[in-house]
Structure 1
Amino acid sequence: MSHSSAYPSPTSSSSAPASPADMPSEPLPHRLSTLPAAPAVTARDVVKTYGRGDTEVHALRGVSVEVRRGEFVAIMGPSGSGKSTLMHCLAGLDAPTSGSILLGDTELVGLPDARLTALRRERVGFVFQAFNLVPTLTAEQNILLPLELAGAAPDRAWMDEIVRILGLEQRLRHRPHELSGGQQQRVAVARALLTRPDVIFGDEPTGNLDTASGTEVLALLRRCARDMGQTIIMVTHDPVAAASADRVLMLADGALVGQLRKPTADAVAEALTRVSAGESL
């Protein structure tokens, strides 16, 4: 796996990528600042095993972690370390073999499927590497789609505020192929923010972006956490992306082997190299 700080160029862009200078400079509103001080996400002794016998794979080996509200956390590790599995379990997309996962004070393990689906829809946001925008819908329709599927009415004032903050006012009628990669990811972030989720999970959110667009999206996520109190948990393989976070969790062979606070790209790269070589942090 490459650990270069450069991002692949988007293949679906038909216009020049937006630059960080295009982003509005005014602070984001403190919409989530009244949330209680309890952790946003808590994992306790989480184990995830796939298969049985000779085919048994231990993806997670007793991982315990706590993410505070308003914290921006990156999850890193060598290929096969369990970082994506951990994110999927924390987000309620996969169930651990054993252990406990709390979203706020709600236990996810053992929650009936219908309640788990409703919880993900109402309290969790997702930003993916591939944007996951519907190509036939406009930017505005893509932002509103999850609420429409749920039969819920959007808060139009909040929608307008998000659109303004993300600089999408002139892009709402554009379809994805008419937007740059950075603009498409801004639409995905707007969609994730619309329900005011407890947590936004990012799965390699800059993986399909060029360097300028990737920098723009990371700055946006940083501002969402710093100025808006939005909790963000991001899986990435890139030390530069991870350096945008408040804290980096380092996994190896399914176990949490260390963490870095106030990370720099160089410190993250060094830690990743050591972990990949089997050294401890």
Structure 2
Amino acid sequence: MPGSVSPTVTTAAAISAVGLSRRYGEGPTAVHALREVDLTVPANSFTAIMGPSGSGKSTLLHCLSGLDTATGGQVFHDDIEITRMSERELTRLRRERVGFVFQEFNLLPTLTARENVLLPLQLAGRRPDPGLLETVIGLLGLAERLDHRPAELSGGQIQRVAVARALVTEPRVVFADEPTGNLDRRSGTELLRLLRRCVGELGQTVVMVTHDPAAAAYADRVLFLADGRFAGDLADPTLPAILDRLDALEDDLGENGAER
């Protein structure tokens, strides 16, 4: 496959994986969602993960974030290996070091925007950092909407609340799984610009799975998967370059399928 050599980075790694594999089932009917993936995500960066349908994108995100358990290889957050952690340890890691933004907004309808934002801190028994909270609310333009419930907010505003909720815990990494999937083009563009600003202005690290090449073009780097394997990366991506790489991956998969 094109670009089959693992990427080399010189900056400190926020997330890294070595030989990461995920298999569902056993024997001849087993599904190999990930096959010995090696990758590094630099700190203070915006990384997009792309690939054809069924390539293992969401599985990779879930294994990197501790939402799913690898069946082979290792995942590190900084220098902490998470693949040997117990479920209790993983719960603590997700609560203290990881933020999540999903395609489904997952806000509680009976809580106000403010209460939804602060919920993870309350569950962890922590008080918000007033300075960080003010910065996040200002960055996301939510000051006038904090007392509104989700039903009183637009789709874009709801997703901004979800981003604020992910940031107030001061996570090491924010994982976003198809975050623009339920948004119209304008709201999706707004969200991507906000994620970009989170990296530039808050020093955040963002890892995003997306099927949208235009969304991936906001990232510093795009990692490509094909058939559960690492299939190259693209630094400083542009929309045409991303489309070319995806076309090449599709062609390669087609040729391999014909050979089989």
- TM-score computed with the length of structure 1 as normaliser: 0.84
Query: Secondary structure of the equivalent of 2:12?
Result: coil
- Out of 158, 168, 172, which is 2:132 matched to? 158
- Out of 59, 67, 70, which is 1:93 matched to? 67
- Out of 72, 75, 83, which is 2:46 matched to? 72
1:130 is matched by which residue type in structure 2? E
Structure 1: which 5+ residue stretches go unaligned? 1-36
Cα offset, 1:46, TM superposition: 0.5
- Report the aligned-residue RMSD: 1.2
Counterpart residue number, 1:9: none
CA contact (8 A) 2:120 2:169 kept: no
User: What percentage of aligned pairs have identical amino acids?
Assistant: 58
Equivalents in 2 of 1:229, 1:164: separation in Å? 16
**Number of aligned residues:** 244
Cα offset, 1:38, TM superposition: 2.9
Further displaced range: 136-145 or 152-161: 152-161
Alignment partner of 1:182 is 2:156: yes
Cα offset, 1:212, TM superposition: 0.6
Counterpart residue number, 1:198: 172
Cα offset, 1:53, TM superposition: 1.4
Equivalents in 1 of 2:181, 2:54: separation in Å? 17
CA-to-aligned-CA distance 1:15-50 (integer Å, 9 cap, x gap): xxxxxxxxxxxxxxxxxxxxxx63100100111111
Higher helix proportion, which one?
2
Equivalents in 1 of 2:101, 2:142: separation in Å? 17
Cα offset, 1:253, TM superposition: 0.3
Equivalents in 1 of 2:249, 2:134: separation in Å? 44
- TM-score computed with the length of structure 2 as normaliser: 0.91
Counterpart residue number, 2:58: 84
Equivalents in 1 of 2:67, 2:197: separation in Å? 26
Further displaced range: 137-146 or 149-158: 149-158
Structure 2: which 5+ residue stretches go unaligned? 1-10, 256-260
Counterpart residue number, 1:53: 27
CA-to-aligned-CA distance 1:132-157 (integer Å, 9 cap, x gap): 11111110000001111122211223
Counterpart residue number, 1:218: 192
Counterpart residue number, 1:236: 210
Query: Secondary structure of the equivalent of 1:131?
Result: coil
Equivalents in 2 of 1:228, 1:140: separation in Å? 20
Alignment partner of 1:258 is 2:244: no
| Bigger relative contact order, structure 1 or 2 (CA pairs below 8 A, ≥6 apart) | 1
2:106 is matched by which residue type in structure 1? N
